[in-house]
Amino acid sequence: MNVYKYRGSSSETLTRDFDSVVRNCFWAPRADQLNDPSEAYIDDREFAKRLKALGAKDVEASYDNLLKMRHTVGVYSLSKTPLDELMWAYYAGGHSGFCIEYDLDRLTLEARAAWNVIDVSYHPKPQTIIFEDVFQAKDEASIIGKMIGTKSRRWAHEEEIRIIAAMSGQNNYAASALTGIYFGCRCDPKFIRKFRQKLNGRKIKYYKMEFEVDTYQMTPRELQYDVEVDGARIEHLAEIEDGAISDLKYINDQNRPYYDCLKKAAEIVRRDTSCEKITYVDFSTSKTQGGKPVVYVEYETNVTTEFCNILNQYFPVEELEICNTAKNI
């Protein structure tokens, strides 16, 4: 699934956001730093009355800790669409800024459990906190969704998805998670050229937004890759450790027909610029899709993460079977 981040056009904003794109990171502010003053607003009046009547100090302490989350976790707001003209007007400098396209699955891979991905829901009234919310606080995604993942229906056109990071501030991601840049219909051609030159050699698609004739409908026009502007494409090929892929004779009979898929999966991952070295490739013993096996690739990542630097990527063999050449993958 692709998600999108609209960015402004002031010189300060462009400098900051331009730099973060080049360095493969984003800034997640606190909920109380977002532009909507009703962010993380909840109705806890009945809860407070009941709490006072019971005098449950342990529940009160747990609730206070939940409230503090609004001032500690980081919120990175994204949209499911790059085609909303109001968002181009509000968040992208009146169509003179740009919009970043991410592959959401790839974006969140290094973060693992450190991020929660919340599909924002829209309601006519603020959410009501009840005792069960506090008792079920271990279900972090659920309580975060209620507190920070709900907004007024007036915002529904934004089709928002939020990444909730454990702490506000800078978060890093793999370069391959950034798949496209959309430039507003009023974006300065000099900026577009500079942007592309700074990201030269990367496998990113570029688009220029245009309005269709006789309609209010916007459409993205893909900009052709230009070696003079974009530079020669940089091919990254990480090492595949000796013995990472078992010999065919060690593969069980059920998976032998799909043996080539192990090599194809390894070729895909080694081209990801975040991959330092592939350490193991095999068929998953716990995952299947469509009655067929799933391949997993274990590798070392160079992306800064609070966890160990070993990651797994999973590939259904049905997807791998259509990758016939290095060009396809």
DSSP letters spanning 83-142: --HHHHHHHTTTTTSEEEEEEHHHHHTTTGGGEEEEE-EEESSPEEP-HHHHHTTTSHHH
Do 162 and 294 share a domain, yes or no? no
- 292 found inside a domain: yes
Q: Which domain holds residue 147?
A: 2-175
- 128 found inside a domain: yes
The per-residue pLDDT for 325 is 45
Do 10 and 122 share a domain, yes or no? yes
- 24 found inside a domain: yes
Where is the domain boundary, 126, 142, 175? 175
- 186 found inside a domain: no
- 154 found inside a domain: yes
The per-residue pLDDT for 135 is 62
Q: Looking at the 3D structure of the chain, how many domains does it have? A: 2
Residues contacting 143, CB < 8 A, separation 6+:
66, 133, 136, 137
Do 12 and 122 share a domain, yes or no? yes
Name the residue with tokens 């462009």. Answer: 14
The chain-wide mean pLDDT, for the chain, equals: 88
The per-residue pLDDT for 134 is 67
CA-CA distance, 245 to 263, in Å (whole number)?
Answer: 7
- 210 found inside a domain: no
- 180 found inside a domain: no
Terminal-residue alpha carbon distance, the chain: 18
Do 34 and 145 share a domain, yes or no? yes
Do 62 and 160 share a domain, yes or no? yes
Do 113 and 243 share a domain, yes or no? no
pTM: 0.88
- 209 found inside a domain: no
Do 170 and 243 share a domain, yes or no? no
Where is the domain boundary, 131, 150, 175? 175
Do 116 and 257 share a domain, yes or no? no
Do 147 and 68 touch, CB atoms closer than 8 A? no
pLDDT in 10s for each residue of the chain, 329 residues: 999 999 987 777 777 888 899 999 999 998 888 888 777 777 777 777 777 777 666 667 767 777 777 788 899 999 999 999 999 999 999 999 999 999 999 999 999 888 989 999 998 888 777 766 666 555 566 677 778 888 889 999 999 999 999 889 999 999 999 999 999 999 999 999 999 999 988 989 999 999 988 888 899 999 999 999 999 988 899 999 999 999 999 999 999 999 999 999 999 999 999 999 999 999 998 988 888 999 999 999 999 888 899 999 999 998 898 876 444 44
Where is the domain boundary, 175, 205, 229? 175
Do 141 and 6 share a domain, yes or no? yes
Do 296 and 171 share a domain, yes or no? no
Do 126 and 266 share a domain, yes or no? no
Contacts by 287-294, CB closer than 8 A, 24 or more apart: 287/314, 289/316, 289/318, 290/316, 290/318, 292/258, 292/316, 292/317, 292/318, 293/254, 293/255, 293/258, 293/317
